[in-house]
């Protein structure tokens, strides 16, 4: 409210499993999704009137929807195995049952029978299916289209991810410098490193974590013989060559040094 009184607006993500009445209404409201970009669809839902009016944007990623569905199938298969392995006399006080029901993933799909045994709750499974590949946004800005809101929130997530990357992977803090010019140089180098990370992600279509893990598998070996010393890198895999090619970077030389005795 204070933000709006100051003439500003917000785009905020809503928790879809919190059980809020307005959220449930927004998610259950029928409507056609509009394609915003590749793997990004959105639809607008207005809940309430007057001062209680809320404008929601339901966003769906078809690719993520498929991934969520496949992941849930794997979870349910493992859950079936866990349920089948329970002793016949197991009840709600049995250690194995307590562990299963309190599990952060398995417990989401269970209910207790009158006899105190856990059982797959198909209604909960259907409720989870409804959320596949979706997230819910709330905005106060009526001038933005549903697509602008979805894209804007995605950009906010990118900014947040950039800050996390600066603070964790690139270690922008703590700074072991006292002179102003050294502090500025440190921040500039971290920013340049972040820029290179984003360029690599855009050109390869992979996350930096995937790129880094792949490149970390490249090693240099030192081989000594009676005839001398050789420094040689490991053979590049096809995916590693593809990363270098996409970034227009020359791979490291196969032989770094050949030093005869």
Looking at residues 16-24, what average pLDDT do you find?
88
Mean residue pLDDT across the chain: 87
The tens digit of pLDDT for each residue in 197-239 reads: 889 999 998 888 899 999 999 999 999 989 899 999 999 999 9
Where b means 16+ CB within 10 Å and e means fewer, 208-222 reads: beebeebeeeeeeee
Specify the long-range contacts of residues 126-133, CB closer than 8 Å, at least 24 apart.
128/72, 129/69, 129/72, 130/27, 131/16, 131/17, 131/27, 131/68, 132/64, 132/65, 132/68, 132/69, 132/72, 133/60, 133/61, 133/62, 133/63, 133/64, 133/65, 133/66, 133/67, 133/68
Residue 90 has pLDDT above 80, yes or no: no
Residue extents of the structural domains in the chain: 2-61+133-156, 64-129, 169-213, 217-260
pLDDT of res. 173: 62
Residue 180 has pLDDT above 90, yes or no: no
Looking at residues 168-179, what average pLDDT do you find?
65
Spatial distance between the Cα atoms of 240 and 243, rounded to a whole number of angstroms:
5
Where b means 16+ CB within 10 Å and e means fewer, 21-35 reads: eebeebbeeeeeeee
The answer to pTM > 0.75 is no
């Amino acid at each position: 409210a204070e933000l709006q009184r100051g003439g500003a607006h917000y785009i905020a993500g809503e928790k879809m499993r919190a059980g809020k009445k307005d959220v449930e209404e927004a998610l259950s409201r029928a409507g056609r999704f509009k394609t915003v970009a590749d793997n990004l669809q959105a639809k607008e839902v207005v809940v309430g009137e007057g001062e209680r009016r809320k404008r929601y944007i339901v966003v769906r990623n078809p690719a993520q929807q498929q991934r969520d569905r496949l992941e849930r199938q794997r979870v349910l298969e493992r859950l079936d195995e866990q349920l089948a392995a329970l002793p016949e006399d197991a009840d709600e006080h049995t250690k194995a049952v307590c562990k299963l029901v309190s599990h952060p993933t398995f417990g989401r799909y269970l209910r207790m029978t009158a006899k105190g045994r856990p059982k797959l709750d198909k209604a909960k499974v259907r409720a989870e299916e409804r959320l596949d590949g979706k997230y819910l946004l709330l905005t106060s800005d009526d001038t933005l289209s549903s697509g602008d809101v979805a894209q804007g929130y995605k950009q906010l997530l990118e900014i947040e991810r950039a800050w996390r990357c600066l603070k964790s992977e690139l270690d922008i803090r703590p700074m072991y410098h006292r002179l102003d010019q050294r502090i500025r140089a440190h921040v500039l180098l971290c920013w340049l490193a972040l820029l290179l990370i984003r360029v690599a992600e855009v050109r390869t279509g992979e996350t930096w974590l995937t790129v880094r893990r792949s490149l970390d598998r490249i090693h240099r070996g030192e081989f000594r013989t009676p005839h001398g010393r050789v420094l040689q890198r490991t053979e590049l895999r096809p995916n590693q060559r593809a990363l270098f090619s996409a970034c227009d970077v020359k791979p490291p030389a196969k032989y770094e040094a050949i030093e005869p005795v």
